[in-house]
Amino acid sequence: MRRFGVWSLRSRKFLSLSYGQRRLTLVARAFVSDAPVLLLDEVFNGLDAKAKLKLRRALAAPRERHAWIITSHRPEELPANVTHRAYMSGGRLSVERPHAVAASAVRKAERRVPSRAKRAHGVDSHRGQWLFRIANADIFRDYRPVIRQLEWTVNRGEHWAILGANGSGKSTLLTLIHGDVHPALGGTIERQGVPFGTHIETWKRRVGWLSPELQADHYLAKSLEEIVISGRYASVGLNDAPTRADRQAATRWLRFFGIEQLRERGPRQVSYGQMRLALIARAMVNDPELLLLDEPCTGLDGDVREHVLNVLQSIAEAGTQLVLAVHDVGDIVPAVERVLKIGKGGRVTLSTR
């Protein structure tokens, strides 16, 4: 626990930790084992740069008793002492990298964002107006302060990236914007078109939401189509039978992401990457004004990651605003020109790229 920086968290409940802190705890759990071989599936997912360095050093230490096998979508993250490499493509294992690897269930052709997703009013006519603004906000999670004295205004037409270490409060800030947590007494958040006293669902239907936790939240869904349709109601699961309009909207975005043929499959019948595409389709199904993305490329292979980043850039160009929390600056699309960084003690700095 000391090696991986989670000793100070030892008395905390597991589900009170951030996504990255939970990942680090599970890494420590694997290393404490006396097993001769560690099987590590996408072990670098959700880790900040400092944590990745610690893990690479642990894997490279010659005194360690473990052999290991790692699956990874990002070979550049692997430690330098890898002795063998194998590649999976089309259900076959090879020791040499194939010249071309097909993208899993993703058509690589360029796509245009479905026309109804483009902002009908045009973004330029509203540029300079604020979309949401946060003032004098201290933000707590599980009774712990994570962000201090936040002053932040996001204007229409702006796209933002949120950076910070594991546990710094990136995900919590996104949930504040979404409406799932609130500033401590004395702080405020205002959302354009949502006056005080308005039910938060009014705002949520204007906002698309994606986080790693949604992967687990929707694990019991009957089908990918049901998952996408649930985005119409900002719900987990459906309370009523889907309408014709629900199915048409879901079809549009399932087709856009190249997974329409998987619409009847459940979450356990598709890959992690295909499930992530379905969740992004869910986030877009209401043609949102604002798309909140928490580590959108976590768990995606190189081809699907490139596809998702191209799609996000197209979505931004079509008028939907992006606020995305990432560890890897390579996951920030060109449309994002503004950065909010959460530092030690929950202090925030704002800058441009």
Q: Quick one: which of 267, 277, 115, 160 has its CA closest to 210?
A: 277
Residue 105 lies in a domain: no
- Indicate which CATH number applies to the domain containing 259: 3.40.50.300
The number of beta carbons lying within 10 Å of the beta carbon of residue 253 is 25
66 and 143 both lie in a single domain = no
Q: Decide: 294 and 170 in contact? Cβ < 8 Å.
A: yes
Top-confidence residue, 55 or 111: 55
Average pLDDT rounded to a whole number, residues 250-277: 91
The string of pLDDT tens digits covering residues 215-260 is 888 888 899 999 999 998 888 888 889 999 999 999 999 998 889 9
Residue 294 lies in a domain: yes
The string of pLDDT tens digits covering residues 195-210 is 988 999 889 989 999 9
Look at residues 94, 126, 155 and tell me which one is the last residue of a structural domain: 94
pLDDT at 149: 92
Top-confidence residue, 60 or 245: 245
Find the domain containing 217 and state its range.
115-352
199 and 146 both lie in a single domain = yes
Distance (Å) of CA 321 to CA 102, 127, 233: 30, 11, 20
Choose the weakest-confidence range: 63-77, 283-297, 326-340.
63-77
**What is the average pLDDT score of the chain?**
85
Half-sphere exposure of 46 (CA within 13 A, CB side): 21
pLDDT at 115: 60
Q: How confident is the model at residue 335 (pLDDT cuts 50, 70, 90)?
A: very high
41 and 120 both lie in a single domain = no
Distance (Å) of CA 230 to CA 2, 252, 282: 41, 14, 7
86 and 130 both lie in a single domain = no
181 and 57 both lie in a single domain = no
173 and 300 both lie in a single domain = yes
Residue 339 lies in a domain: yes
52 and 186 both lie in a single domain = no
pLDDT at 300: 80
Number of domains in the chain: 2
199 and 313 both lie in a single domain = yes
pLDDT at 118: 59
122 and 86 both lie in a single domain = no
Residue 108 lies in a domain: no
